[in-house]
Amino acid sequence: MARFTLPRDVYHGKGALENLKNFEGKRAIICVGGGSMKRFGFLDRAENYLKEAGMEVKVFDGIESDPSVETVMRGAQAMIDFQPDWIVAIGGGSPIDAAKAMWIKYEYPETTFEDMCKVFGLPKLRTKAHFCAVSSTSGTATEVTAFSIITDYAKGVKFPIADFEITPDVAIVDPELAETMPQKLVAHTGMDALTHAIEAYVSTANCNYTDPLAIHAIEMIQNDLVASYNGDMAARDRMHDAQCLAGMAFSNALLGIVHSMAHKTGAAFDDYGAHIIHGAANAMYLPKVIAFNAKNETAKKRYGVIVDYLGLGGKDDDEKVANLISFVRHLNDELNIPHGIKFYGKDSYPTENGFVPEEVFLERLPKIAELAIGDACTGSNPRIPTQEEMEKLLKCCYYDTEVDF
């Protein structure tokens, strides 16, 4: 038996944000990140719609990119003090992910962060509040997923929280918000969405309910990502739907080791002045993981199906896998994303000498590999790497070398 869970309602299309005025409740807290939602007027609109619905509204703002455990705890305390019956998270993946974790702590104040990280081990939510997610970026799809990523900066590790309980009740997928994304964010979130869809399709938990979502998302991304990056707003609008479909797929089919590695390398070199941005990490690692997973015959065949849908050609599955890898690498070139950690600059752009020194990477490699194997996403990967294989794979991702094992 398997489970397929999505938000009860998904409002999509331009103007979807207005549905907030139909919510029923007494108090709503809006969780938001930096200044973009305020700057473009979406925060004011959301607040006004909720007030129009007759609610008292509080704003919890300043949620950082890669939200911390400390931010989660502060937000949860704000919720405990205010006692909202609606939590509305608006913005990119960071404020939505943070609000999901705050929601858990609000409903169960005795819960520790360690408790939250027990995969599919959360108690029943919705005893105090319902949750609405309003996405402004086209990548994480956290507005429809059972996942949240929170960073423990003391450990330099991103931890996924995974449980169907944190699937939002309502998702608002309004492309007007996504039209405000800067170009670099379009690139990184778009490659995150592509990775979600490809990993979901080859995951060991894939099924007839997730496959069509994953495949159609991949087709849409092929057609629209580069155009969206280059400023085509009709393509940008379609990408907002594509990433949501990819999210619906992976929330139920789960992911694989591209995400395991991205989670564990993202903040691992924070002391050298930068993070490896999640979407860029996925983009760099995806070709290597495709090559690694293709040693599994079932995965190889499924990669071949993706290639057939995309019209990339190939006389057999081996050739199709090679063509899929070339396709992803070409996308990275089009989107100005490096091919390896060694060439990843502090600004995320390709450079001859990246911000992660070779000796530091090699010194931390065994621990990063160990943590990646233990990540919640590893169990559904079609090929489970050993410690030695994970270290070799991460080296390929650092140096941009061929995966032949």
- Residue pLDDT, tens place only, 379-393: 999 999 999 999 999
For residue 308, the model assigns a pLDDT of 98
351 secondary structure, DSSP code: -
Return the closest-CA partner of residue 244 out of 224, 283, 214: 214
Number of neighbouring beta carbons within 10 Å of residue 110: 6
Give the helix/strand (H/E) hosting 31: strand 27-32
pLDDT surpassing 90 at residue 285: yes
For residue 67, the model assigns a pLDDT of 94
Query: Stretch 360-379: mean pLDDT, rounded?
Result: 96
Query: Stretch 281-302: mean pLDDT, rounded?
Result: 98
The 10s digit of each residue's pLDDT in 56-73 is 999 999 999 889 999 999
Confidence band of 258 (pLDDT split at 50, 70, 90): very high
pLDDT surpassing 90 at residue 34: no
Return the closest-CA partner of residue 136 out of 168, 167, 99, 182: 182
For residue 1, the model assigns a pLDDT of 87
For residue 296, the model assigns a pLDDT of 98
Confidence band of 35 (pLDDT split at 50, 70, 90): confident
Query: Stretch 83-91: mean pLDDT, rounded?
Result: 98
pLDDT surpassing 90 at residue 158: no
Task: Say what the pTM is.
Answer: 0.95
The 10s digit of each residue's pLDDT in 97-139 is 999 999 999 999 999 999 999 889 999 999 999 999 999 999 9
Average pLDDT, the chain: 97
- Comparison of pLDDT for 46 and 36, the residue scoring more: 46
What share of the chain in percent tops pLDDT 70? Answer: 100
- Please give the full DSSP string across 243-308, using - where no structure is assigned: HHHHHHHHHHH---HHHHHHHHHTTTTGGGT----HHHHHHHHHHHHHHHHTTSHHHHHHHHHHHH
For residue 155, the model assigns a pLDDT of 87
